[in-house]
Amino acid sequence: MSDMEDRLLWIHGDYVAPETGRFFETLNPATGEAICRVAEAGQADVDKAVVSAQKGQAVWRAMSGAERGRVLVKTAQLLREHCDALARLESLDGGKPLAETPEADVGSAADCLEYFGGQAASLQGEYQAVPGGFFYTRPEPLGVCVGIGAWNYPIQIAAWKSAPALAAGNAMIFKPAELTPLSALKLAELYKQAGLPDGVFNVVQGMADTGKMLTAHSGVAKVSLTGEVGTGKAVMRAAADSLKSVTLELGGKSPLIVFEDADLDNAVGAAMLGNFYTQGQICTNSTRVFVHQSIRDAFIEKLVARTQKLRLGDPLDPDTDLGPMVSADHMAGVLEYIEIGKKEGGSVLVGGGRAKVPGFENGNFVEPTIFDGLNDKMTIVREEIFGPVLSLLDFSSEEEVLERANNTEFGLAGGVFTRDIQRGHRVADRLDAGIVWINQYNLTPVEMPFGGFKQSGIGKENSRRAFEHYTRMKTVYVAEGDVEAPY
Ligand code: NDP
């Protein structure tokens, strides 16, 4: 165990010990060693967090949008000031390379807070004259919202959920994934330092049970989850009992389609980013790479050569490209998929197993792996693996590839590489996916709506669209004449 002290719950602007008296360990995935102990919230803690959030929200919603916005923008500034330490913490807890975390995690969280800080004063309703008078609409906060995070982008997810919720005048109780519970607490500290009233952002760590308690709670108006499809369904079922609204950001098995006229170097770079960034643990990843038959050999040659150069290692070394999988269990699951891929007849072009990293013998490292010789029915082509495993497929016509790309229960994202502008837009139109990139992959600026179709989710994060999921619209009719009662 490192010398980092126990992490308590964050309720009403301060650290509090859990009523459960229970703690769990969070591990460093590069070494398997415990980083520190983390409090586990039970029902009494969740109840306390809800009461605190109700009190905080009453203060917060009475403030003007501009005042709320200033707190969010100040928090973004603090995030940037503490970027190095936060990025190291994220790399330590989640195994993400330090080459990524300052920008993709801390920077993206700060971008989001700045964006919604700027938007907070702009929420407005509509006016319309109607027979007998007029009506206006009021976008109102929902009340206490719950955010439940996955472990792959811990601080980013905490910001993507809390920034629009808070900008709109809600309070949020956030439950980070049990595997990466540390950075949301730092965000809470910075919110407080920036002037956020107590109770407006509470953090309750714990397991799935803590998530269930939050989802079922009668004092909670809304749940926003990032997680697996199965968890999304469980959350939606639980939320149905009290008709809470839900935003669900779930899994995917997204296609990247590379046509014969594509810029090959860009397409190869995108395929690598879409499979190996964050060790492949990204929901929107392009895990099915469809390459036109006529350029298959050239594409593979470049892809293999560049993938072989990737450096696995200590996530805290700035030269590392890939760190470890988030946990030993998750690594075992990814390795099992690789074995299934081999058994079902796939051929491994690169990688294909656990990686040994000198000095990190207990780390959860998996080699970046490229499979060829696949067909659409194989398990690894159908199921989300959430690791550095790229499935290569080829195609001969646009019609054929679109049919195959859409033949999945998921619908999170997709990409197309072509120099033909009409084809690019045509394919974007036909892809059954919530996000499509043309000649790019996995860029998610905060200005752009983010969210999936089909079993990949419900609702959008980021952009002004996020406000629709954190407000309720009240309609107010105002009479300009008398009441004409016939009795
Ligand atoms: P999980 O679904 O296992 O967990 C997500 C969160 O939900 C965790 O905090 C978890 O707690 C909690 N939880 C689990 N069960 C319940 C329940 N019944 N009720 C309430 N909360 C519950 O996902 P992972 O953390 O394993 O993350 C990986 C998944 O997330 C992948 O499928 C990935 O595609 C998806 N994802 C989607 C994104 C998107 O935006 N579309 C982005 C990133 C990831 P605990 O950690 O304690 O189990």
Residue whose Cα lies nearest atom 37 of ligand 1: it is 250
Residue 182: C-alpha distances to residues 87, 146, 339 (Å): 11, 18, 33
* Angle between helix 208-216 and helix 229-240 axes, rounded to 10 deg: 30
Q: 393: part of which helix (H) or strand (E)?
A: strand 389-395
> How many CB atoms sit inside 10 A of residue 345's CB?
10
Per-residue confidence (pLDDT) for residue 1, from 0 to 100:
64
Close Cβ partners of 51 (under 8 Å, ≥ 6 residues apart): 219
Q: What backbone phi and psi angles, to 5 degrees, belong to 95? A: 80, 10
Q: Find the Cα–Cα–Cα–Cα dihedral 449, 454, 457, 462, rounded to 10°.
A: 0
Per-residue confidence (pLDDT) for residue 3, from 0 to 100:
74
Residue 80 buriedness (CB in 10 A; 0-12 / 13-18 / 19+):
middle
Q: Which residue has the tokens 């369904």?
A: 233
Q: Which residue has the tokens 């407005």?
A: 124
Helix-then-strand count for the chain, H and E: 15, 22
Residue 231 CA to ligand 1 center (angstroms) comes to 6
Per-residue confidence (pLDDT) for residue 305, from 0 to 100:
98
Judge whether 127 and 79 are in contact, CB under 8 Å.
no
Per-residue confidence (pLDDT) for residue 4, from 0 to 100:
82
Please give the Cα distance from 206 to 15 (Å, whole number): 15
Residue 174 CA to ligand 1 center (angstroms) comes to 13
Please give the Cα distance from 242 to 333 (Å, whole number): 35
Say whether 484 is catalytic: no
Residue 247 CA to ligand 1 center (angstroms) comes to 13
Give 294's DSSP letter: G
Q: 437: part of which helix (H) or strand (E)?
A: strand 435-438
Per-residue confidence (pLDDT) for residue 317, from 0 to 100:
97
Tokens representing 174 are 């956030």
Per DSSP, the three-state class of 184 is: helix
Look up the pTM and report it.
0.97
* Residue length of the chain: 487
> Which member of 283, 367, 384, 460 is catalytic?
283
State which ligand 1 atom lies nearest to the alpha carbon of 235.
Answer: 19
Residue 57 CA to ligand 1 center (angstroms) comes to 26
Query: Strand 245-249's sheet: what is its strand order?
Result: 14-16, 9-11, 201-203, 171-175, 144-148, 222-226, 245-249, 457-458
Please give the Cα distance from 26 to 326 (Å, whole number): 11
Tokens representing 420 are 């033909």
Buried b (16+ CB within 10 A) or exposed e, 403-441: ebbbebebbbbbbbbbeeeebbeebeebbbbbbbbbbeb
Q: Which of 228, 287, 462 has most ligand 1 atoms within 8 Å of CB, for mutation?
A: 228
Per-residue confidence (pLDDT) for residue 142, from 0 to 100:
98
Residue 266 CA to ligand 1 center (angstroms) comes to 31
State which ligand 1 atom lies nearest to the alpha carbon of 153.
Answer: 43
Judge whether 56 and 197 are in contact, CB under 8 Å.
yes
Please give the Cα distance from 487 to 50 (Å, whole number): 48
Say whether 33 is catalytic: no
> Which member of 90, 178, 249, 384 is catalytic?
249
Per DSSP, the three-state class of 385 is: coil
Residue whose Cα lies nearest atom 20 of ligand 1: it is 211
Residue 366 CA to ligand 1 center (angstroms) comes to 21
State which ligand 1 atom lies nearest to the alpha carbon of 232.
Answer: 2
Say whether 161 is catalytic: yes
Digitized pLDDT (tens) for each residue of the chain, 487 residues in all: 677 899 999 999 999 999 999 999 999 999 999 999 999 999 999 999 999 999 999 999 999 999 999 999 999 999 999 999 999 999 999 999 999 999 999 999 999 999 999 999 999 999 999 999 999 999 999 999 999 999 999 999 999 999 999 999 999 999 999 999 999 999 999 999 999 999 999 999 999 999 999 999 999 999 999 999 999 999 999 999 999 999 999 999 999 999 999 999 999 999 999 999 999 999 999 999 999 999 999 999 999 999 999 999 999 999 999 999 999 999 999 999 999 999 999 999 999 999 999 999 999 999 999 999 999 999 999 999 999 999 999 999 999 999 999 999 999 999 999 999 999 999 999 999 999 999 999 999 999 999 999 999 999 999 999 999 999 999 999 999 999 999 9
Q: Which of 204, 231, 442 has most ligand 1 atoms within 8 Å of CB, for mutation?
A: 231
Ligand 1 site: residues with CB under 6 angstroms?
148-152, 175, 177-178, 207-208, 211-212, 215, 225-228, 231, 234-235, 249-252, 283, 384, 386, 412, 452, 457
Judge whether 369 and 363 are in contact, CB under 8 Å.
no
Close Cβ partners of 62 (under 8 Å, ≥ 6 residues apart): none
DSSP 80-135: HHTHHHHHHHHHHHH---TTTIIIIIIIHHHHHHHHHHHHGGG----EEEETTEEE
Residue whose Cα lies nearest atom 34 of ligand 1: it is 251
Q: Which of 226, 275, 327 has most ligand 1 atoms within 8 Å of CB, for mutation?
A: 226
